[in-house]
Structure 1
Amino acid sequence: MVRMLKAEEIRESLRREIVGQDEAIEAVVRAVTVAMLGVTDPKHPLGTFLFMGPTGTGKSAMARALAKVLHGDEDKVVVVNCTEFKHSHEVSKLIGAPPGYVGHDQPPFITPEKIQDRFTVVVFEELEKAHPALFDLLLQILDNGELYTAKGEKLDFTKCFIIMTSNVSAREIDDITKEAIGFQPPNPPEEDPDKFDRHIRQVCMQALERSFRPEFINRIDEIIVFRRLKMDHLQKILDKFLLDTRARFAIAGIGTVITDEAKAFLLQKGTNLRYGARPLKRAVRQYLEYPLAQFVMHHGVSEREVVYVLADPPNDALRFEVRQLKKGELIVMS
């Protein structure tokens, strides 16, 4: 059962998960607010979105964040990876193979049970890689809010949010981003900080019109181009990643304190503005999580001890020190 949420509560919850994408967050907040009131068109999905823009900026993460806000679990998402539907015969897997065809006895990928809950989030990832036959099915979802499986079962999407992601202009965006950062990690030096974002939006919309049929584009409620992540965004994302890492180690009984120098090291290692937040996540895994796990396995950490994470520039790494907790001292997770 999804509880009623106010717009500000939805907004703040999404901002804790998604950094630097206020336009996308506002679009989702509008759709969820209307859906919460029960005044959406009963013959259409609750909201339909197409997210475009640079890689690693949170397009797919927005779907998981919305599921977390609505259902308390970011994994309560029905994900359709469109790379699995590149050929016409593969599209039948989505709703089941027709009678007489191989696989007719197999259940379809989407079943009534998967989308029966109110406010189900359905994601079609990398939309541009799908065979055109998939778009015929999507048109039915966007237009009528329903599909029928090969066995005649109705798939009701009128209680669903449909999120589609696309990297259709990835190469052009990468060229723009390389120009914007001049191959350097600091903030772009241009006088107009929004210049390149506007250029990316223009390129995305042109690619959209080249790649998708007008009748498909016109049925999407919100088309959002995600913005490039800048250094201040990556700093906030790093804090989020580190909070998650520390929480997982804490569950295993290992308290940690990460120094500002260690954070700066991870930010330097994980900053590549061409690829968004993904290199940062890899840096946390490579330089912090795996070495820290090795350290704990080798040295052990007692109940009244905490591991301090420090930078070790000469070795181009992080180093770890076990320190005693003072009486009454607490480890703050922030």
Structure 2
Amino acid sequence: LRETYENHHRVIITDDALKAAVELSARYINDRFLPDKAIDVMDEAASKVRLQTYVPSPEMQEIKDKINEVNNQKEAAIASEAFERASELKTEAAALQEKLDELVEKKQKKQQEIQLLVTENEIADVVAMWTKIPVKKLKEDEKARLLKLEETLHERVVSQAEAVTAVAKAIRRGRTGLKDPKRPIGSFLFLGPTGVGKTELSKALAQAMFGNENAMIRVDMSEYMEKESVSKMIGSAPGYVGYEEGGQLSEKVRRNPYSVVLFDEIEKAHPDVFNVLLQVLDDGHITDSQGRKVDFKNTIIILTSNAGASNIVSPKHLGFGAGNDEKANYEKMKTDVMDEVKRMFKPEFLNRIDDIIVFKQLNKDDIRQIVEILTLQLSKRCKEQMDLNLDITEAMKDYLADKGYDEKYGARPLKRAIQTELEDNLAEALLAEKIKASDTVKCDVKDGKVIIEAEKKKAARAVKGKSEEGAVPKAAKKVVKAKAGNTATKTAKSRKTTKK
């Protein structure tokens, strides 16, 4: 078929393009079959290359604009019965059209001499357009990205080394082909109290794997507590309201097949919902109410639960205050949590999950690191949205860490502390016009009070100082004027005496 499409589009399709069309379509386009989808990708890429040659040059576009302008003037002249002027404009338009035809003919001859190539880059562009995956992610060396996955995740997730390592290892197993190709890339059960980074790790994973943290489908399982709510997930049965709309889960995954699917607070879901999840985890697909197969093999499944959270928060299990070995305490706490999880979930459900990860409780040093991340994000927002340069002192960061530290609730109180102590004061200073765009704003704390003030510009002060040094004081000016007046009076008197 290559020769047929080459002759039709008048292009040359390279061997790499053919190989990329098969590999990328097989990997990323799931709702169609080979060889049909590979042929369509090749056809669209070839037509895209050919259509780029039909874009007029700036000179041709300028002549077209002139022709339109002359034609408008000609019509206006005819309407005002200025027929001689209309005849002149008609001749001018004909000359411009002739010049345009010559340029078009030259361009066509030149294009016939140039061989238009369809390469793997054009194939990747088409696949990216169809699947909504950034082109650079298709071209990037995935091996290098997977090898540095822990480093990438730790840029956003503080502490939780065991969780990050376990996720990275499971993802590498899935992408190297060691897993069942029909199952999702990875499936994890995240356990731990609130505010320790379960959702943040999910967002970081979406950013690292799919190029955007918004490539995450979040499903709140508290909405699926009733038996009838299963229809919300895969769609209503024929004859019921909402049949044509599709399911909340199936429709989102069908439209975004490359994403992280987060099932939040899984223990709140009705037991019938687990039957759907079993099919997703085992077979890698579900069939919606309209009979369409929704593929999950390119998704990452994450389930979060607060099961066993009391064992994580309880000091008697951790023993930090007693000074015991932290690693041994963590292992004991993990064992206690797993015992509770086994009582709560069925064995067939737990056996289908790749890894069960228990998140540690955050300490004060972890909160201080999170302060650095959150204040940096705030500084970027202020610079992009209001052109403010924030200078947040170390004392202010320590103050926020103290205010936002809560052993039971993790990092969530810290976000509230930044809002109330820093963002609210910044908003008040902006409204009171104490600070304005392009200012460097110093955020400090003294005696337990937050201080927001614009730093004075040293350069302006220096210039002002120089001008003051070179200026003559007003008092000195008055003295000089007075002396000048006295001298003039004495001179006038001496002249009168001489005349006499």
Deviation per CA, 1:301-329: give whole Å up to 9, x if none: 3455311111133xx441112113445xx
Rounded Cα–Cα distance in structure 2 between residues aligned with 1:72 and 1:152: 31
**Residue of structure 1 equivalent to 2:423:** 289
Task: Choose the corresponding residue for 2:455, options 298, 323, 326.
Answer: 323
Matched, 1:298 2:450: no
Task: Choose the corresponding residue for 2:154, options 12, 15, 25.
Answer: 15
Rounded Cα–Cα distance in structure 1 between residues aligned with 2:337 and 2:163: 15
Task: Choose the corresponding residue for 2:366, options 198, 217, 233.
Answer: 233
Rounded Cα–Cα distance in structure 2 between residues aligned with 1:240 and 1:285: 14
- The one-letter code sitting in structure 1 at the alignment partner of 2:455 is R
Q: Residue 110 and residue 24 in structure 1: after superposition, are their counterparts in 2 closer, same or farther (change >3 A)?
A: same
Task: Choose the corresponding residue for 2:261, options 122, 128, 151.
Answer: 122
Rounded Cα–Cα distance in structure 2 between residues aligned with 1:135 and 1:274: 29
Indicate the SS of the match to 2:289: coil
Matched, 1:148 2:282: no
Rounded Cα–Cα distance in structure 2 between residues aligned with 1:196 and 1:317: 39
What percent identity do the matched residue pairs reach? Answer: 35
Rounded Cα–Cα distance in structure 1 between residues aligned with 2:222 and 2:316: 27
Rounded Cα–Cα distance in structure 2 between residues aligned with 1:118 and 1:99: 25
Partners of 1:96 and 1:108 within 8 A in 2: yes
**Residue of structure 2 equivalent to 1:192:** 325
Partners of 2:246 and 2:288 within 8 A in 1: no
**Residue of structure 2 equivalent to 1:44:** 183
- The one-letter code sitting in structure 1 at the alignment partner of 2:242 is G
Rounded Cα–Cα distance in structure 1 between residues aligned with 2:155 and 2:458: 32
Partners of 1:255 and 1:305 within 8 A in 2: yes
Alignment of 1:1-334 (within 5 A): 1=133, 2=137, 3=140, 4=142, 5-111=144-250, 114-115=253-254, 119-174=258-313, 176-177=314-315, 188=321, 190-251=323-384, 252-302=386-436, 305-313=439-447, 316-326=448-458
Deviates more, 1:209-218 or 1:35-44: 35-44
RMSD (CA atoms): 2.2
- The one-letter code sitting in structure 1 at the alignment partner of 2:450 is L
Q: Residue 124 and residue 288 in structure 1: after superposition, are their counterparts in 2 closer, same or farther (change >3 A)?
A: same
Indicate the SS of the match to 1:281: helix
Larger Rg: 2
Bigger share in helix: 2
Partners of 1:124 and 1:163 within 8 A in 2: yes
Rounded Cα–Cα distance in structure 1 between residues aligned with 2:329 and 2:412: 21
Gaps of 5+ in 1: 182-186, 328-334
Q: Residue 151 and residue 227 in structure 1: after superposition, are their counterparts in 2 closer, same or farther (change >3 A)?
A: same
Rounded Cα–Cα distance in structure 2 between residues aligned with 1:264 and 1:148: 52
Q: Residue 311 and residue 9 in structure 1: after superposition, are their counterparts in 2 closer, same or farther (change >3 A)?
A: same
**Residue of structure 2 equivalent to 1:184:** none
TM-score, structure 2 as length reference: 0.60
Deviation per CA, 1:249-287: give whole Å up to 9, x if none: 111211111111111111110000111111111111111
- The one-letter code sitting in structure 2 at the alignment partner of 1:240 is I
Indicate the SS of the match to 1:54: coil
Partners of 1:77 and 1:121 within 8 A in 2: yes
Deviates more, 1:51-60 or 1:3-12: 3-12
Bigger share in strand: 1
Deviation for aligned residue 1:232: 1.5
Deviation for aligned residue 1:214: 0.5
Deviation for aligned residue 1:195: 4.7
- The one-letter code sitting in structure 2 at the alignment partner of 1:103 is G
Q: Residue 7 and residue 326 in structure 1: after superposition, are their counterparts in 2 closer, same or farther (change >3 A)?
A: farther
Gaps of 5+ in 2: 1-132, 460-500
Deviation for aligned residue 1:7: 3.4
